[in-house]
Amino acid sequence: MSRDHVSPPTVTRDSIHTVDDDSFHSGTVCLVTGAGSGIGRAVALAAAGNGLTVAATDVDEAGLAETRERAEELDLDGPIEPVAGDLTVDEDLERVVEEAAGLGQLTYLANVAGMQHIDPIDEFPMETYDRIHDVMLRAPLYLSKLAIPHFREREDGRGCVGNMASVHGHYVTSDKVAYNVSKFGLRGLTQSIAAEGEGEIRAFSVSTGYVKTPLVTGQLEDTAEQRGISVDEVIEDVMLGQSRVKEMMEPIDVGNLFVVGFSDLSRHLNGGDLLYDGGMTLTYE
Ligand code: NAD
């Protein structure tokens, strides 16, 4: 494995898959959280690459500006409109949905933003637990609650929520209780939307193992040093140790999954989870 496997890749136009779907045009709005970095940015670029108008939200305004710049460099069909906001503030969530709905027909919501904190349960700071819960579970629910009435305004009454879960929504590792609980909860939210959506308003989740984002690649050198092993060994033995596919996913791979999940190709995907983990959770030794 060469060293260039270690830096987060930039999304290219060729890496964005396009899907033929009647709703994929600039009159349709896709709201994406966490759009200032990593997977959220890739989802935003993939949606814009499919002609959708993207309401890109994040607390990181500089990150949002970079996402928009990248979309312009790639000359994508749909525009990316930054709508900054903090997912822990209800007034921000209300404003973000209102602004997104003002850009066209709000039809798709991608809940991607997330964070991590590592501590054992008996030492886990409760204010950190609450913050992670607010960003990763409460905000996706509140955004869905606010977006669903807009979905219903469509002539066909259709809309879809895609939630970024994780292998940690299937099994857990120690010292990540807030993350684990949020990801399991996000799958519950996904199924709840499906239960109430009468087949018109769908929901799905996406669960991956490690994806090459700044969050992950930034830890490689430190982990290698701590464990006294090479960066390649950290990738192959630690991060991909249980995966049968010995290659980390790229953010755009996940972006493309959201586009397929939103499209009519996935009209029977409802409440389900797209488990793209290279065999990590379903195989043993
Ligand atoms: P990232 O750190 O690159 O991006 C997360 C984004 O969320 C950041 O831009 C951050 O500003 C934003 N955010 C955090 N708190 C916020 C708040 N209060 N209000 C608004 N925005 C806020 O991380 P990433 O690797 O792209 O991860 C994105 C999602 O994918 C997360 O939900 C994560 O759990 C999930 N995921 C990541 C991996 C991986 O290996 N990278 C694997 C599985 C699942």
Write out pLDDT tens, residues 252-280. Answer: 999 999 999 999 999 999 999 999 999 99
Alpha helices (runs of H) in the chain, residue ranges in sequence order: 38-49, 61-74, 90-101, 126-133, 139-153, 177-196, 214-217, 220-227, 231-233, 251-262
pTM above 0.85, yes or no: yes
Q: How confident is the model at residue 4 (pLDDT cuts 50, 70, 90)?
A: low
**CA 275/CA 267 separation, integer angstroms:** 17
Q: How confident is the model at residue 43 (pLDDT cuts 50, 70, 90)?
A: very high
Shortest CA distance to 158 belongs to which of 190, 200, 191? 200
The share of the chain scoring above pLDDT 70, in percent, equals 98
Better-scored residue on pLDDT, 215 or 271: 271
Determine if ligand 1 sits within 6 Å of the CB of residue 37: yes
Q: Give the residue carrying structure tokens 């949905």.
A: 97
Compute, in angstroms, the gap from residue 155 CA to the centroid of ligand 1: 33
Q: CB 237: neighbour CB atoms within 10 A?
A: 13
Assess contact for 29 and 52: CB atoms under 8 A. Answer: yes
Determine if ligand 1 sits within 6 Å of the CB of residue 215: yes
Q: How confident is the model at residue 186 (pLDDT cuts 50, 70, 90)?
A: very high
Is residue 190's pLDDT more than 70? yes
**pLDDT for the residue 157:** 95
**Identity at 268, one-letter amino acid code:** H
Q: How confident is the model at residue 7 (pLDDT cuts 50, 70, 90)?
A: confident
Mean pLDDT of 5-17: 87
**pLDDT for the residue 5:** 57
Q: Which atom of ligand 1 is nearest to the CA of 116?
A: 34
pLDDT tens digits for range 52-110: 999 999 999 999 999 999 999 999 999 999 999 999 999 999 999 999 999 999 999 99
Compute, in angstroms, the gap from residue 41 CA to the centroid of ligand 1: 10
The share of the chain scoring above pLDDT 90, in percent, equals 89
Better-scored residue on pLDDT, 192 or 214: 192
**Substitution candidate for ligand 1 out of 7, 58, 173, 248 with most atoms within 8 A of CB:** 58
Shortest CA distance to 271 belongs to which of 199, 173, 179, 175? 199
Assess contact for 46 and 72: CB atoms under 8 A. Answer: no
**Residues of the chain by 3-state class (helix, strand, coil), percent to 5:** 45, 15, 40
**pLDDT for the residue 42:** 98
Determine if ligand 1 sits within 6 Å of the CB of residue 164: yes
Q: How confident is the model at residue 218 (pLDDT cuts 50, 70, 90)?
A: confident
**pLDDT for the residue 213:** 94
Determine if ligand 1 sits within 6 Å of the CB of residue 59: yes
**CA 258/CA 42 separation, integer angstroms:** 10
Q: Give the residue carrying structure tokens 């009209």.
A: 267
Please state the φ and ψ torsions of residue 270, each to the nearest 5 degrees: -150, 105
